[in-house]
Amino acid sequence: MASNSARLGVVVFALSALWVAAPDVNAATSSVEPAGLISAYSVAAPRTEAASGLLARAVLPAGLTCPSVQVELRNGSIRDIAMLERPRPVNTSSAFAPLLVCSTPLPVGARRASIAGKVVPAAMPAEVQRLALLGDSGCRVTTWEVQDCSDPAQWPLSRISHSVAKDKPDVIVLNGDFFYREAPCPTTQEALCAASPGQIPGMPFTDSAYGWLADVFIPMAPMLSAAPLVVVRGNHEACDRGGNGYFYFFDPRRDTSNTCAPSFIDGVLTAPTMAPTPTYPIDLKISSKRTLRLAIVDSSGGNDPSVSPYAAIQRPTYEQASAMSVPLADRESWLLTHRPIFGFASSVFATSSDPIVWGSADQAAAAWGLLGNYDMIFSSHMHIAEVVQLPGLPPQLILGNAGTLLDPVSGYALPAHGFNVGPGQTYPAPRSAWGDVKFGYALATPQSAPGAWRLQMRDQAGQDFATCGLRYTTLYCRAVK
C-alpha cells in the first residue's frame, strides 16, 4: 500500500499540472479520477435544498470548468444536469485557490448518476439496511503533538475507508473533526509528517485545499462515493480551524460557503465569531412503516470542562432539534451532535477540581430537558468507542476512533455520580457504560422491532470487536471474543 505522504505528492503534482485527463489505471490507488476529477460524492441534504434529499458534489483542480452529472431516471431516460460552481470562501487568499467545487441537486426519480465517468449515489436509499457511523478521522499535526501520518497502522483512515466501502452501507454518517493538520510539520518530526501541508501565512484559520486533500479526499476516497453522506460539523471545523473547507466541500446548504470566511476588522483579517448554524433533519426510510430521523446539531463551538455563556447561544439549536423530532407512530429519532452530551473521558485527563471528565459541559447545559424525543444520541469528539446510559435518558454513543490519535487506554471506571450544569440541573450518575480504545467505526442494521438496531463495532480491517443492541432507548454492548 502506498503511503499517504506518497499519495499526497501525486495529487499535489496533479493539481499543479492541472491534469485534464488522468487515466484511471487502478481505481483502488489512483488519486485523480478521469477528466481531472479529484473526488465526486453525494451529500444528504434537507428537502428544502433538494427535493430528492441528495446533492451531487465534485472537486476538481482550479482552471477547469464544472462538469455535468449524467443521470439515468427510473423511466429509462438520460439527462445531463449542469453542475454549478460552489463559491470559494472569500478573503481566503491562496488557501482554496487550487480547487474548484461543483454542486447540483439530484432529481427525484434518479436511479444512476455519474460525474466525468465516476459513479456516485443517485438517490437516497429506498430502505436503509446498513448504516455506517464514524467520526474524528484526521491526522493530528500540531506544534505540541504529531501523529505518524505516513504509517497506515498509526493513522488507519485509508484502511477504515476501504473497510467501510467493502461493507456496502446504504448511508454513511461522518460525525465531524475531519481536519487535524493545524501546524507545519516540526523539523524534528519530518519522518512522521514531512508532506503535511501547513497553514497559509497571514490567514486566521488553519486549513487549506492541500490540507483537505491530505486529511480527507485521499484517504477517504474509497468510501466517499460508496453511499450518500450525512455530514456533521465538528469542533475542528470551527471558523478559526477547518471551517472554511467544511462549508466549501461538505455543508449541504446552498448559501453557506462563506459562513467561516474571514473579514477585515480594523484592517486585520479576522475569523467570524463562533456561532452554531441552524439545526436540520435528514430522514432515512427503514421500511414502508418506519423512518429514522437524524436531527443534526452544529456543536462545533462551546466549552468542554465547564459551562460558559456559549451554552445559551447553543440552546436554540437543541430546541429546534427537539421540535422536529416529536415522536410519531412510524418515526424514531437520533440526535447527531459532534460533541457528546454526557460521555466521560479517561481519568488521565482529570484534575483535582474535576476528578471525572464529562463530555462537554456547554452541550449538556444547552440540551438540558430537551432529550426526551430521541432513541439515541450519536457523537464523536472523544477518541474512543463508548456507550453511556443515564437513567431516564437516551443512550449516548460516541465514536471518535476513525483515525485520529486515540485517547488513553485506561481510566474509564464507571462514575459514581453525575454532573451539574446549572441551578437544579444535575444529570444522574450513569447506570452502565461500555468502552474500548480501538481504531474503527460502527455498522448499524435495523432489527424487526421499531426503534431496535444492532451495532457492530468494527476495527480498521472491518472485523467486529464488539456488538451492541439498541432497543427501547437502551444500548448495551459486549466484546467479541
So what's the pLDDT on residue 84? Answer: 97
Angle at Cα 224 formed by Cα 406 and Cα 8, nearest 5°? 70
Question: Is 41 inside any structural domain?
Answer: no
Decide if 346 contacts 411 (C-beta within 8 A).
yes
> CA-CA distance, 435 to 215, in Å (whole number)?
26
| 449 domain residue, yes or no | yes
Q: Please state the rounded mean pLDDT for residues 203-209.
A: 97
pLDDT digits (tens, 9 = 90+) for 461-478: 999 999 999 999 999 999
Domain tally, the chain: 1
Please tell me the distance from the alpha carbon of residue 301 to that of residue 238, in angstroms, as a whole number: 7
Range of the domain at 425: 124-479
Backbone Cα Rg of the chain? 21
Give, in order, the Cα–Cα distances in Å from 460 to each of 40, 75, 401. Answer: 23, 40, 10
| Distance from C-alpha of 481 to C-alpha of 478, rounded to nearest angstrom | 9
With respect to residue 119, please indicate whether it lies within any of the assigned structural domains.
Answer: no
For the ranges 8-22, 171-185, 228-242, 428-442, which has the lowest average pLDDT?
Answer: 8-22
Query: Which pLDDT value is given to residue 213?
Result: 97
Question: Is 76 domain-assigned?
Answer: no
- 20 pLDDT higher than 50: no
pLDDT digits (tens, 9 = 90+) for 284-305: 999 999 999 999 999 999 999 9
Q: Is residue 229 part of a domain?
A: yes
Q: What percent of the chain has pLDDT over 90?
A: 88
Q: For all residues of the chain together, what is the average pLDDT?
A: 92
Q: How do residues 427-436 score in pLDDT, each as one tens digit?
A: 999 999 999 9
SS3 292: strand
* CATH number for 283: 3.60.21.10
Residue 11 lies in a domain: no
Query: Which cell is 400 given?
Result: 471518535
Interval 405-431 mean pLDDT:
95
Q: What is the pLDDT of residues 337-363, one digit of tens each?
A: 999 999 999 999 888 667 778 989 999
459 assigned to some structural domain: yes
- Answer yes or no: is 33 within a domain: no
